Every structure is written in C-alpha cells, then in structure tokens.
Amino acid sequence: MTDVPITNTPQRATVDDARLVSSTLARAFDDDPMMRWFFPEESTRETGLGRYFTTLFTRQYARHGVCERTDAAAAFWVPPEGQAKAVPDAETVEELQEILGDRASLFRDAVTAAAEHAPQEPHWYLAVLGADPAAQGQGHGAALLRSGLAQADAAGLPVYLESSKPANLPIYEHFGFAVLGEAQLPGGGPVLWAMRRVPRTS
C-alpha cells in the first residue's frame, strides 16, 4: 500500500466536506487565543470547536460565502454580495449558543464588538483560515490565502480580516495586509487585530 500524497491545491468546499473541514479547523484553532477564550476546557475543546465550525460552515459560509479547502486546511471568504446574508440567522445563533454553553454571552459580545468596526466600503472578508498543525510548512494556508486574494484582486476590492493570534500578523503582512487597529474584546477577552489589504492589479 502506497501513501497518498496530501495535496495543497485549493478546491471548492461543499457541505459534503463538513467533517473534513470542521476537524481540520478544530485542530488549527486549538491554540488560537479567541477560541481558547470561547472553549477554555482543554478536555472538550476539540469536540466543541468541531461542532462550532460545522455549524458555521454548513449553516452560514457554505451557503453565502466562498469556501475552499486543501487536504489539510480550509478558508471561508465572504464577497460583498454575500455579507448581508452571511449574518447568522436565529436558528444558527441558537445552535451556537447551545455549543458554547456558559460562554455564549461572551461570543455575542465579541460578535457585536467586531461588527461595530466592520468596514463600510465594498470588500472581501476573510472570515476563517486555518491549517492542520501536522501539515505546517507545506503551503496549505498560503495556497488558500493566495486563491482568495486573487479573487478579490480580480474584483478590484480590498480584503479585511480580524486575528487574535499575534504570530499570524507577520504572515498576513507578508501577503500585503496592514494592521488598521486593535481592540480588547469585552469581558476580559483577547486582543483582536483588524487588518486590510488593498487590491493589487496584475
């Protein structure tokens, strides 16, 4: 039996990929400050993150965003035309609250705080990008980042994101993002950095 190589070629992610996507992102975000704030219990974090990303993916981003994956990473993007629809509906909010348990109010406050600083100009939004740590250094995250940025560039639009992980800031800066500002999330949460990238023309 030969080993099947893990490809880092981006492909469109559909709801049929939910198990792969959610398990990959659960591992990718295990050390993320905001996810550790939402899921503080080490013993249940991976399960909670898996359910969290499954809900976001199947009920929100797979319907109204541009979702791509490799064999070891996933990214959720929202173009301008999908942003009004990508806001979680009441049923999705209820599902997320059940997953988050007593941390649900912190999540609501964080979402509200982030929304207050949302850009008003037309833009692409990078909602989620994560790669399995076991495949680190194999170019999975970079491949997905380049793919989404190329689509935003083709539309002539800037890209926004928020990150709570300081180690990721230089990576995004390498791809043309600049920090717009930082905010401490309410309730003693982590710092969130807002970043913007201007469109590039070929």
Per-residue pLDDT reduced to its tens digit, 139-154 = 999 999 999 999 999 9
pLDDT for 106:
86
Beta strands of 9-167 (E only): which ranges? 11-12, 66-69, 73-78, 124-131, 159-163
Report d(CA 197, CA 195) in Å as an integer: 7
Quote the mean pLDDT of the chain.
92
User: Mean pLDDT, to the nearest integer, of 179-183?
Assistant: 92
User: Any idea which of 75-79, 103-107, 143-147, 194-198 has the lowest mean pLDDT?
Assistant: 103-107
Per-residue pLDDT reduced to its tens digit, 13-42 = 999 999 999 999 999 999 999 999 999 999
Question: Domains along the chain?
Answer: 11-157 (3.40.630.30)
